[in-house]
Amino acid sequence: MRNVFVVAIVIVVFGGLLYAGDMMGMGMMHHSKKASIDDKRISLNFPPPMKQEQLANMRSHLEAVKTIVDFISKGKFDEASKVAHQKLGLAPDMQKMCGMVKNKGFASMGLSFHKSADKLSNVLKTKDTKKSLQALNQTLSFCVQCHATYRQ
Ligand code: HEC
């Protein structure tokens, strides 16, 4: 009788642990599975060597935006203009990189983005804060739009 009692306790405790573990595991599995199912963005199927380069390029884009905002806040429009053109504008290497992507929609969005940065560079030369922020917002719209549409 006593043995039966011990076995019952063991079953209840282990069962509880398994159940809790399962819940946690399920919870996590469910979450990541759901995230990949819910990710409706178009995959670009970048080859591995291109992945790192593209991400590094992206981080430098973000840094450029930060620098531009910093310069605008200090009234250093010429410096901001230079960064917009040099780091985000349609330079030959940027054009080449966007052109390497097979997806036409991505490539054309990339080109529009770089062109908008050159426009931003020109607007910054007017030293008009409001117009500059509007142009920067325009450029940032391309960042947002592309990220919402595509993934690596
Ligand atoms: C034409 C498309 C496109 C444009 C425009 C674009 N990006 Fe991206 N960006 C991507 C893709 C694709 C990824 C990879 C996302 C993924 O696979 O989930 C990415 C990733 C990133 C990352 C993550 C980097 C990392 O190390 O993980 C940052 C930061 C980023 N972009 C910043 C920006 C900023 C800032 C801008 C605008 C100034 C911008 N991007 C414009 C396509 C774009």
The answer, yes or no, to whether residue 7 has pLDDT greater than 90, is no
Name which residue leads in pLDDT, 23 or 90. Answer: 90
pLDDT at residue number 107: 93
The answer, yes or no, to whether residue 35 has pLDDT greater than 90, is no
Cβ of 148 below 6 Å from ligand 1: no
Q: Which of 127, 43, 50, 142 is nearest to 89 (CA)?
A: 142
- Distance between CA 94 and CA 16 in Å, rounded? 57
Q: Which ligand 1 atom minimizes the distance to the CA of 88?
A: 38
- Distance between CA 106 and CA 46 in Å, rounded? 12
Residue nearest to atom 6 of ligand 1 (CA): 143
Residue nearest to atom 16 of ligand 1 (CA): 151
The answer, yes or no, to whether residue 33 has pLDDT greater than 80, is no
Q: To the nearest whole percent, how much of the chain has pLDDT over 70? A: 76
Residues 80-115 have pLDDT tens digits of 999 999 999 998 888 888 888 889 999 999 999 999
Tokens of 108: 């054309």
pLDDT at residue number 93: 82
Mean local confidence (pLDDT), 126-138: 98
The answer, yes or no, to whether residue 30 has pLDDT greater than 50, is no
The answer, yes or no, to whether residue 147 has pLDDT greater than 50, is yes
The answer, yes or no, to whether residue 130 has pLDDT greater than 90, is yes
Phi-psi bin for 90: left (phi > 0), alpha (psi -120 to 50), beta?
beta
- Distance between CA 144 and CA 33 in Å, rounded? 24
| Distance of CA 63 from the midpoint of ligand 1 (Å) | 12
Q: Which ligand 1 atom minimizes the distance to the CA of 43?
A: 17
